[in-house]
Amino acid sequence: MRTSTIIAVAIGAGLAVSGCATSSNTRDQIVKAPAACEDVTVQIYFEPESSEVTSEGQAVLNQASLQAKSCKIERVRVMGLADAVGAPAANLEISKKRAAAVTRSLNSTGLPTPEFDLAAAGQTGAVTAEGDARLMRRRADVTIELSNP
């Protein structure tokens, strides 16, 4: 039994050494470069007639901020939108409030940004040419433009 254990250890050691001797891995093959910083785009949805960021929306913003942490943030674009229910002026106002609420929430995540571009579309584009309401328009679209540090 002792001889078989010694032989097994010897074979294992021989394989390990021969694997090291024939390995042609270089540092560049072993150490991987960090992933390139790519823009992050998310959508934050709101309850009807509300501009309050939900807990789900905050979680999405937290994740987007985390993704951007190791990158240089060039700019953050936030577009507030509304559906076609209600008066156009009221929808434009709520879409502005949604964009502002998302910006405040992003700031609370500690996202360092040199520039925020805020825009509001109100209900513009909320109805198709055929007269059908576009779904999921109670939202803010957020794009974090990133580059490598």
pLDDT in tens, 63-103: 999 999 899 999 999 999 999 988 999 999 999 999 999 99
Nearest to 49 by CA among 106, 105, 102, 90: 90
Q: Mean pLDDT, to the nearest integer, of 57-62?
A: 97
φ/ψ of residue 140, rounded to 5? -130, 130
Task: Name the 3-class secondary structure at 45.
Answer: strand
Range with lowest mean pLDDT among 86-90, 118-122, 123-127: 123-127
pTM of the entire structure? Answer: 0.73
Find tokens 């502002």 and name the residue: 100
88-108 and 55-68 are packed helices; what angle lies between their axes, rounded to 10 degrees?
A: 50
